[in-house]
């Protein structure tokens, strides 16, 4: 059996003489080399009626999708091979509602709702290879797969929302203030479980730190302790040498801040200090060389829906669009989000929302 390399041929094979081959479809389907197909082709196949009606065929397709997400890091693929098929977008989620924004087209699209209400204050969303992952402290994690266009619960989670990607692997920082213990854990994708990388004891065991990654390092910046003392200090963990080291302090003490690493720099924004909001933002993400700030909280503690980007030429923040939550609900929650790539086929399946 020869693997189909062009989108459309795999669909033709599935639909060819459908009525005659239906009884033998499962046996024939086992010979298709799904691992050699593109994400768009897998998306077309998984929505086919013959495939969805067969538990065996559906499981084979799901396995192929999982292996693709496990062993192929989309950021490592040459841009030329993805040109015209993939688009970088910003994904935003508040509660159950999920949206994606396409800056190139200035359009919003709606994704399926999550499996449960999500508290953004204790949650974080990251892009891991071809999928979205959300982590909520002490509650659990969810995964969004663009191929299946669906959210699902993850059985294994880190008991923490302080997660980041280092060299293609998921790391998390767990803080136990009772034992004054900080633990670094890493997710083993093949075994689907978390493994301890480092265990440290620290008298200043800080909560609500900004956790981000750059190079081979995991950064932990700012935060506060139960005595209401806020910190400007930070450390970074070397995932190769397995050791912590101090870094330069921020200019402002802050807890609950958000950050992004880009171009050998880490940008930190938002958060609070001694009960005062610091021009807070819900998410700061980097997309196509621009820094975007999404959402925030007004002085009246109401959630803000603006999306702004930083114009380096004019040295100021400019409003780009508004998150269209009010188009589907009169109430909305704080937000989390991140940037990721979507295939054209996956985006075409999503409904457009007018702002």
| 279 and 323 together in one domain | yes
Domain membership of residue 181 (yes or no) is no
**Where are the strands (E) in 137-289, listed by range?**
140-145, 150-154, 163-166, 169-176, 181-188, 193-201, 210-214, 217-221, 234-238, 243-247, 258-262, 265-269, 272-273, 276-277, 283-287
Cβ(339)–Cβ(285) below 8 Å: yes
**What percent of the chain shows pLDDT beyond 90?**
30
The reply to whether 15 and 91 lie within a common domain is: no
Look at residue 73 in the predicted model and tell me its pLDDT.
44
Is 166 domain-assigned? no
What's the pLDDT tens digit per position in 182-232?
A: 999 999 988 888 999 999 877 678 888 999 999 999 999 999 887 788 999
Specify the pLDDT at position 276. 73
Residue 228 shares a structural domain with residue 99: yes
In terms of Cα–Cα distance, which of 148, 152, 255 is closest to 208?
255
pLDDT at 24: 76
175 lies in some domain: no
Q: Read off the pLDDT of residues 11-20 as tens digits, 9 standing for 90 and up.
A: 565 566 666 6
Torsion of CA 126, 82, 88, 218, to 10 degrees: 30
Q: Which of 79-83, 145-149, 203-207, 288-292 has maximum average pLDDT?
A: 145-149
Q: What is the CATH number of the domain that holds 325?
A: 2.120.10
29 plus 148 within the same structural domain = no
| In a domain? residue 191 | no
pTM: 0.74
Confidence of residue 7 (pLDDT cuts 50, 70, 90): very low
Q: Supply the mean pLDDT for the chain.
A: 81
**φ/ψ (deg, to 5) at 43:** -65, -40
64 and 213 co-located in one domain: no
Position 238 pLDDT exceeds 80: yes
Which of residues 334 and 303 earns the better pLDDT score?
334
User: Looking at the predicted structure, is the pLDDT value of residue 273 above 80?
Assistant: yes
70, 169 contact by CB (below 8 A)? no
Domain hosting residue 128, numbered range: 86-161+209-353
Q: Is residue 226 part of a domain?
A: yes
Choose among 134, 96, 135, 133: nearest CA to 115.
96
Any domain includes 19: yes
Final residue in a domain of this structure, among 44, 69, 94: 69
- Looking at the fold, whether 56 and 97 belong to one and the same domain comes out as no
**178 domain residue, yes or no:** no
Between 301 and 78, whose confidence is greater?
301
CA distance 277 to 282: 12
The tokens for 204 are 């200043």
The H or E element containing residue 183 is strand 181-188
Structural domain tally of the chain? 2
Judge if 131 and 220 occupy the same domain. Answer: yes
Distance CA 289, CA 275 (A): 33
108 and 226 share a domain? yes
Question: Across the chain, how many H-helices and E-strands are there?
Answer: 8, 25
> What does the pLDDT look like over 71-96, one tens digit per residue?
444 444 444 344 457 899 999 998 88
Domain-located, residue 184? no
Predicted confidence band at 330 (pLDDT cuts at 50, 70, 90)? low
Residues 107 and 32 in one domain: no
Q: What is the pLDDT of residue 3?
A: 36
The secondary structure element, H or E, covering residue 229 is none
pLDDT at 57: 82
In this prediction, residue 232 carries a pLDDT of 92
- Note the pLDDT of residue 316: 86
pLDDT at 109: 96
Assigned token pair, 73: 């890091």
Residues 37 and 121 in one domain: no
Calpha distance 351→354 (Å, rounded): 10
Is the pLDDT confidence value at 5 over 70?
no
Residues 244 and 345 in one domain: yes
Q: Is 354 a residue whose pLDDT tops 70?
A: yes
Highest averaged pLDDT of the listed ranges 74-88, 90-104, 318-332? 90-104
Three-state DSSP state, 327: helix
Q: Are residues 288 and 316 in the same domain?
A: yes
């Amino acid at each position: 059996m020869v693997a189909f390399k062009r989108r459309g041929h795999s669909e033709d094979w599935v639909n060819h003489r459908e009525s005659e081959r239906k009884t033998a479809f499962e046996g024939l389907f086992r010979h298709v080399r799904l691992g050699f197909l593109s994400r768009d082709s897998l998306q077309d196949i998984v929505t086919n009626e013959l495939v969805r009606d067969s538990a065996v065929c559906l499981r084979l397709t799901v396995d192929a999708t999982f292996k693709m997400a496990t062993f192929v890091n989309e950021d490592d693929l040459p841009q030329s091979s993805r040109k015209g098929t993939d688009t970088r977008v910003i994904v935003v989620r508040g509660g159950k509602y999920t949206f994606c924004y396409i800056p190139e087209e200035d359009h919003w699209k709606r994704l399926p709702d999550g499996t449960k209400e999500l508290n953004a204050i204790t949650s974080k969303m990251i892009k891991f290879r071809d999928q979205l992952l959300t982590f909520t402290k002490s509650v659990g994690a969810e995964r969004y797969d663009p191929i299946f266009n669906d959210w699902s619960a993850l059985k294994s989670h880190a008991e923490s929302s302080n997660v980041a990607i280092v060299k293609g692997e998921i790391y998390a920082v767990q803080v136990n203030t009772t034992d004054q213990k900080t633990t670094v854990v890493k997710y083993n994708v093949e075994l689907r479980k978390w493994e301890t990388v480092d265990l440290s004891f620290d008298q200043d065991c800080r909560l609500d730190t900004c956790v981000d990654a750059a190079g081979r390092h995991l950064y932990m910046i700012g935060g506060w302790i139960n005595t209401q003392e806020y910190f400007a200090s930070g450390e970074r963990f070397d995932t190769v040498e397995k050791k912590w080291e101090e870094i330069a302090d921020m200019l402002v003490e802050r807890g609950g801040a958000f950050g992004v690493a880009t171009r050998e720099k880490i940008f930190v924004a938002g958060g609070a200090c001694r009960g005062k909001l610091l021009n807070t933002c819900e998410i700061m993400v980097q997309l196509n060389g621009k820094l975007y700030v999404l959402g925030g909280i007004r002085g009246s503690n109401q959630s803000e829906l603006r999306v702004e980007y930083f114009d380096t030429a004019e040295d100021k923040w400019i409003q780009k669009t508004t998150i269209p939550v009010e188009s589907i609900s009169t109430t909305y929650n704080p937000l989390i989000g991140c940037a990721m790539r979507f295939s054209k086929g996956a985006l075409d399946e999503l409904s457009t929302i007018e702002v």
